[in-house]
Amino acid sequence: MKLARRLDHIEPFYVMECAKAASELARSPACADKPMIFLNIGEPDFTAPPLVQEAAERALRAGRTQYTDATGLAALRERISGWYRTRFGLDIAPSRIVVTAGASAALQLACLALVNRDDEVLLPDPSYPCNRHFVAAAEGVATLIPASPEERFQLSAAKVQEHWGERTRGVLLASPSNPTGTSIDPDEMGRIVKVVRAKGGFTIVDEIYLGLSYDDRFGHSALAHGEDIISINSFSKYFSMTGWRLGWLVAPAELVPALERLAQNLYICPSTIAQHAALACFEPESIAEYERRRTEFRARRDFVVPALNAMGLTVPVMPDGAFYAWADCSRYAQGSWDFAFDLMRRAHVAITPGRDFGRHGAERYVRLSTASSMAHLQEAMSRLRDALGV
């Protein structure tokens, strides 16, 4: 069977390849006495809080399981709008909000609506691999621009200006970022938006970790910089609903009909049960629980990053959000791929090599997820110290 040529530009998702290897080893007799600790997948160990689970059960019992509008339940769009108002001080009209089947669907819709064949989209290197593959799936060209620790591993307005070419159509950013957990300074974000706007391009910002921001300086939505910004968000991270596959995007009003038309044809609507459940995310009791969890995630970061630095796995920029540490392993290995598999076998700690996340130096880094319990993180750091002899 002859495959479509677009697949030539979509690489394997190596994070999942490593996860499969770790899971296989975890089931083997070698791990019988020392179970595998998984720090490789970016999934909160917390699940949906009680009110959300109860809302899902009520929807099932009441038979509220039929299709919704392609843009999502009107009530949920209203709740999301209210969250922007109370959390970020932003007045986002519900009509600009499109609820999607996860943030992945939101990125797919945005790329299909805006990217033509051979259009170029600028992204930072390192960045989440699927973001560039959404561009490739729309038959565009994702151009990775090296971003240094001094730049917080993020693009700058100067870099966007320098690399903007005849075929460049826009930028796809992430703040906070996976894999680094670093955000774009709000002032720099404003400068990037001005450059892109002057070029007549689009600015897409992946903000799925914005709720898990730990620094007041960075905890602001790019939507504050104008109604032409496209923000991607999710119920998976801050709201702890990973397997429910529910996200949303905020778009300029004139783009919403095109996004709706695409959504109608691609997946009809997001999961109805997940949408009814998500209504309960915004109840005061749920928000209080999410904020307690955010405090716990910050405590985990504050434990893991100094521990990694002390053992020579240097984290060059303190993550200000998300639940990742982007650590330089070059002191111990030529490349992070072999290093990660060696630790998997010897320490029974699964981490993610940097191969997925870029082409300009990412091989010297590993990504560790701090979305595990503090007890697991403490044990993992102890095992890593033993394995590295420090």
Residues of the chain with CATH 3.40.640.10: 50-282
33, pLDDT greater than 90: no
How large is the average pLDDT for residues 176-199? 98
- The encoded tokens of residue 287 equal 């928000």
> For the domain bounded by 5-47+286-388, which CATH number is listed?
3.90.1150.10
13, pLDDT greater than 80: no
- The encoded tokens of residue 67 equal 């299709």
Return the closest-CA partner of residue 97 out of 272, 271, 263: 263
71, pLDDT greater than 90: yes
Q: Could you say which DSSP state residue 245 is in?
A: -
Using CB atoms within 10 Å of the CB of residue 272, give its burial: 0 to 12 exposed, 13 to 18 middle, 19+ buried.
middle
Residues of the chain with CATH 3.90.1150.10: 5-47+286-388
Rounded Cα–Cα distance for residues 155 and 171 (Å)? 9
| pLDDT at res. 10 | 81
> For the domain bounded by 50-282, which CATH number is listed?
3.40.640.10
Give the orientation angle of helix 102-114 with respect to helix 256-266, to 10 degrees: 120
3-state secondary structure (DSSP) of residue 350:
strand
Rounded Cα–Cα distance for residues 332 and 339 (Å)? 8
Which strands sit side by side in the sheet containing 324-328, from one edge to the other?
324-328, 365-369, 352-353
C-alpha distances out from residue 88 to 54, 91, 154, 157, Å: 28, 9, 22, 23
- Tens of pLDDT, residue by residue over 274-296, are 999 999 999 999 999 999 999 99
156, pLDDT greater than 90: yes
Question: Do residues 274 and 246 make contact, with C-beta atoms less than 8 angstroms apart?
Answer: yes
Residues in the chain: 390
Per cent of the chain over pLDDT 90 is: 92
Rounded Cα–Cα distance for residues 306 and 308 (Å)? 5
> Please, what is the average pLDDT of the chain?
96
Rounded Cα–Cα distance for residues 55 and 61 (Å)? 10
3-state secondary structure (DSSP) of residue 368:
strand
- Tens of pLDDT, residue by residue over 227-255, are 999 999 999 999 999 999 999 999 999 99
14, pLDDT greater than 80: no
| pLDDT at res. 12 | 76
Give the pLDDT band (50/70/90) at residue 305: very high
C-alpha distances out from residue 247 to 48, 63, 243, 280, 360, Å: 14, 22, 11, 15, 30
CA distance from start to end of the chain: 52
